[in-house]
């Protein structure tokens, strides 16, 4: 079913009202959009040159050793020229056994020089196009993929609904406390390498059901890392403490964190629902942000200076994290109007930004709005509902959207992501991920190969 049928901003605004998407509003005037998005943002001791962020977008195109490869370079070169001043570098594994695919980036002492070269290139290209890269911030997202690691899943606790979806038997062992403690050190080592490579910021990734995200919701886990909230925050707090001890304040610490996991789509759950993060136990289809706020306070105290809020899981409820027009092949259709999904993102991010006005938050879930994403972002920033407009798929399709946003206050409809989800399809087929419809030169051939491989399988 086609949802995005709006020819004007007024028509989209009316649809938001009719759908009950009460948090979806737009700045209509291109001049206002330009001005708001051009505002610089203070992040810790740094000043980021505008309010536009490119979300971390994994390309699954590294070498087997974890180095950035040709397509990785191409993606960041395009982002560098694009004009966003916050470019959130994609999921990068801290350990080989924490990679979600064999082409995921993985930072090691052997390849830190490659990361440094790529970073220098991004800064140089950005400087050439935009005059300065001093106000460009590139946090690197450090990850362990936990349950979605290959070849062997590593789980933090048993959520029977996710176990069922992922074929995890009830007797499958959970990662031991001692192993988690060692893993904290791997994060610190990887962050040190990131610093050596020239990154000014690291993101201790806790989103989308990967290991640290799962730990936040490990209410039924025993031991030092499960049960009470204090234990579930322990891993991230320990990493930050160790990082500060090792690197002082030379690295800015960011977190991309889920604020609401939801439940696996279509599962018949019982209440109270004892699993997950940010969910209301009495109705896990709704968020309950009390613990999320306590976690943010706690991370703030340890020195987190930038937060990027996301929701859901690409594996078990993709409509929550990335409202879409069309699912990837074989996946379920949108069970709600995408505006409801956009509204959920906006409502939750706004509640958190208002609760923590001094902590810059990057908002997520804008791409479904197509050319009006920047109007929504400008509205939300002006209203104090987020500090950065974060664009994910939209940036794969239109890597220089920020230029048009900043120069014209309008995007070119013909170049906007239509959330048709071929990028996810490529990822699922274990091919490098990009935007075949709007980047034929990069991915036209790759999608053909992926389809061919799927047919042969």
Ligand X SMILES: Cc1cc2nc3c(=O)[nH]c(=O)nc-3n(C[C@H](O)[C@H](O)[C@H](O)COP(=O)(O)O)c2cc1C
Please identify, using beta-carbon distances, which residue of 206 and 417 lies nearer to ligand SF4. 417
Distance, CA of 204 to CA of 210 (rounded, Å): 11
> Shortest CA distance to 430 belongs to which of 413, 410, 453?
453
- Min. distance of Cβ 395 from ligand SF4 in angstroms? 8
Distance, CA of 154 to CA of 215 (rounded, Å): 11
Number of residues forming the site for ligand X (CB under 6 A): 25
Distance, CA of 63 to CA of 50 (rounded, Å): 33
Counting contacts by CB under 6 A, is residue 364 touching ligand X? Answer: yes
Which of residues 46, 142, 391, 446 is near ligand X by CB under 6 A? Answer: 391
Stretch that binds ligand X, among 53-61, 147-155, 287-295, 405-413 (CB under 6 A): 53-61
Counting contacts by CB under 6 A, is residue 366 touching ligand SF4? Answer: no
Please identify, using beta-carbon distances, which residue of 290 and 440 lies nearer to ligand SF4. 440
- Min. distance of Cβ 420 from ligand SF4 in angstroms? 4
Counting contacts by CB under 6 A, is residue 211 touching ligand X? Answer: no
SS3 of 312-324: the string is CCCCCCHHHHCCC
Question: Which residue of this chain has its Cβ atom nearest to ligand X in the complex?
Answer: 392
Q: Identify whether the C-beta of residue 192 lies closer than 8 Å to the C-beta of residue 239.
A: no
- Min. distance of Cβ 91 from ligand X in angstroms? 3
Distance, CA of 371 to CA of 30 (rounded, Å): 12
Question: Does a cis peptide bond (omega within 30 degrees of 0) precede residue 151?
Answer: yes
Place of tokens 């982002």: 79
Counting contacts by CB under 6 A, is residue 60 touching ligand SF4? Answer: no
Stretch that binds ligand SF4, among 230-238, 264-272, 331-339, 392-400 (CB under 6 A): 392-400
Task: Kindly list the distances between the CA atom of residue 398 and the CA atoms of 57, 83, 226, 403, 436, in Å, as whole numbers in the listed order.
Answer: 13, 12, 42, 10, 12
Distance, CA of 247 to CA of 189 (rounded, Å): 10
Q: Identify whether the C-beta of residue 221 lies closer than 8 Å to the C-beta of residue 233.
A: no
Please state the φ and ψ torsions of residue 360, each to the nearest 5 degrees. Answer: -65, 130
Q: Which residues contact 344 (CB under 8 A, 6 or more apart)?
A: 260, 287, 311, 320, 365
Counting contacts by CB under 6 A, is residue 435 touching ligand SF4? Answer: yes
Counting contacts by CB under 6 A, is residue 394 touching ligand X? Answer: yes
Please work out, in degrees rounded to the nearest 5, the angle formed at the alpha carbon of residue 364 by the alpha carbons of 361 and 370: 135
User: Which residues are registered as beta bridge partners of 143?
Assistant: 93
Counting contacts by CB under 6 A, is residue 67 touching ligand SF4? Answer: no
Which of residues 180, 195, 423, 450 is near ligand X by CB under 6 A? Answer: 423
- Min. distance of Cβ 357 from ligand X in angstroms? 23
Please identify, using beta-carbon distances, which residue of 197 and 423 lies nearer to ligand X. 423
418 binds, among ligand SF4, ligand X, none (CB under 5 to 8 A by kind): ligand SF4
- Min. distance of Cβ 165 from ligand X in angstroms? 19
Distance, CA of 41 to CA of 305 (rounded, Å): 12
Please identify, using beta-carbon distances, which residue of 112 and 435 lies nearer to ligand SF4. 435
Counting contacts by CB under 6 A, is residue 428 touching ligand SF4? Answer: no
Stretch that binds ligand SF4, among 150-158, 200-208, 257-265, 389-397 (CB under 6 A): 389-397
> Shortest CA distance to 12 belongs to which of 371, 364, 334, 347?
371
Distance, CA of 62 to CA of 292 (rounded, Å): 33
- Min. distance of Cβ 90 from ligand X in angstroms? 4
- Min. distance of Cβ 71 from ligand SF4 in angstroms? 14
Q: Identify whether the C-beta of residue 155 lies closer than 8 Å to the C-beta of residue 112.
A: no
Please identify, using beta-carbon distances, which residue of 219 and 256 lies nearer to ligand X. 256
Which of residues 21, 125, 188, 396 is near ligand SF4 by CB under 6 A? Answer: 396
Please identify, using beta-carbon distances, which residue of 310 and 429 lies nearer to ligand X. 310
Task: Kindly list the distances between the CA atom of residue 289 and the CA atoms of 260, 278, 294, 347, 401, in Å, as whole numbers in the listed order.
Answer: 8, 5, 9, 11, 32
Please work out, in degrees rounded to the nearest 5, the angle formed at the alpha carbon of residue 309 by the alpha carbons of 129 and 407: 25
- Min. distance of Cβ 329 from ligand SF4 in angstroms? 12
Please identify, using beta-carbon distances, which residue of 49 and 139 lies nearer to ligand X. 139
Please list every residue from 238 through 277 that binds ligand X, using CB under 6 A.
256
- Min. distance of Cβ 58 from ligand SF4 in angstroms? 12
Please list every residue from 310 through 329 that binds ligand X, using CB under 6 A.
310, 321-322
Instruction: Provide the phi-psi class of 400: left if phi over 0, else alpha when psi is between -120 and 50, else beta.
Output: alpha
Counting contacts by CB under 6 A, is residue 90 touching ligand X? Answer: yes
Please list every residue from 407 through 426 that binds ligand SF4, using CB under 6 A.
417-423
Helix (H, G, I), strand (E, B) or coil at 195: helix
Stretch that binds ligand X, among 7-15, 52-60, 161-169, 271-279 (CB under 6 A): 52-60
Note the residues at the interface with ligand X (CB under 6 A): 55-58, 90-91, 141, 207, 256, 310, 321-322, 364-368, 391-394, 423-424, 427, 433
Note the residues at the interface with ligand SF4 (CB under 6 A): 393, 396-397, 417-423, 435-438
């Amino acid at each position: 079913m086609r949802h995005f049928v709006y020819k004007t901003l007024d028509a989209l605004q009316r649809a938001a009202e009719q759908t009950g998407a009460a948090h979806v509003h737009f700045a209509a005037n291109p001049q206002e959009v330009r001005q708001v998005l051009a505002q610089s943002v203070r992040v810790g001791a740094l000043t980021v040159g505008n309010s536009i962020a490119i979300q971390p977008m994994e390309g699954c195109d590294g070498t087997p050793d974890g180095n950035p490869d040709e397509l990785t370079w191409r993606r960041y070169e395009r982002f560098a020229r694009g004009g966003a001043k916050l470019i959130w570098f994609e999921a990068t594994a801290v350990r080989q056994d924490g990679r979600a695919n064999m082409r995921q980036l993985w930072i090691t002492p052997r390849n830190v020089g490659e990361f440094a070269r790529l970073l220098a290139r991004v800064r140089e290209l950005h400087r050439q196009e935009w005059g300065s890269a001093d106000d460009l911030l590139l946090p690197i997202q450090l990850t362990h993929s936990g349950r979605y690691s290959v070849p062997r899943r590593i789980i933090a606790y048993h959520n029977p609904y996710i176990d069922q979806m992922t074929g995890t038997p009830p007797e499958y062992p959970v990662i031991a406390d001692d192993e988690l403690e060692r893993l904290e050190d791997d994060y610190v080592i990887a962050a040190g390498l990131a610093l050596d490579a020239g990154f000014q910021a690291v993101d201790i990734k806790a989103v989308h059901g990967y290991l640290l995200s799962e730990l936040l919701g490990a209410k039924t886990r025993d031991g030092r890392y499960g049960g009470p909230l204090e234990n579930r925050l322990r891993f991230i707090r320990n990493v930050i403490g160790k990082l500060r001890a090792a690197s002082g304040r030379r690295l800015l610490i960011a977190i991309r964190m889920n604020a609401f996991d939801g439940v696996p789509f279509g599962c018949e759950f019982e209440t109270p629902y004892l699993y997950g993060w940010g969910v209301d136990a009495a109705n896990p289809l709704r968020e309950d942000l009390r613990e999320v706020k306590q976690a943010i306070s706690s991370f703030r105290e340890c020195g987190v200076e930038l937060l990027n809020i996301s929701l859901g899981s690409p594996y078990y409820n993709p409509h929550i994290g990335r409202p879409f027009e069309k699912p990837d092949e074989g996946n379920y259709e949108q069970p709600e109007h995408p505006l409801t999904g956009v509204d959920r993102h906006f409502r939750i991010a706004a509640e958190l930004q208002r609760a923590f006005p001094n902590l810059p938050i990057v908002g997520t879930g804008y791409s479904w709005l197509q050319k009006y994403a920047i109007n929504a972002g400008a509205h939300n920033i002006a209203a104090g509902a987020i500090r950065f407009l974060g664009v994910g798929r939209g940036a794969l399709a239109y890597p220089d959207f920020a230029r048009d946003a900043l120069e014209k206050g309008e995007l070119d409809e013909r170049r906007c992501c239509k959330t048709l989800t071929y990028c996810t399809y490529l990822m699922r087929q274990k091919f490098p991920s990009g935007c075949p419809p709007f980047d034929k030169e990069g991915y036209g051939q790759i999608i053909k190969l992926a389809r061919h491989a799927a047919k042969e399988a």
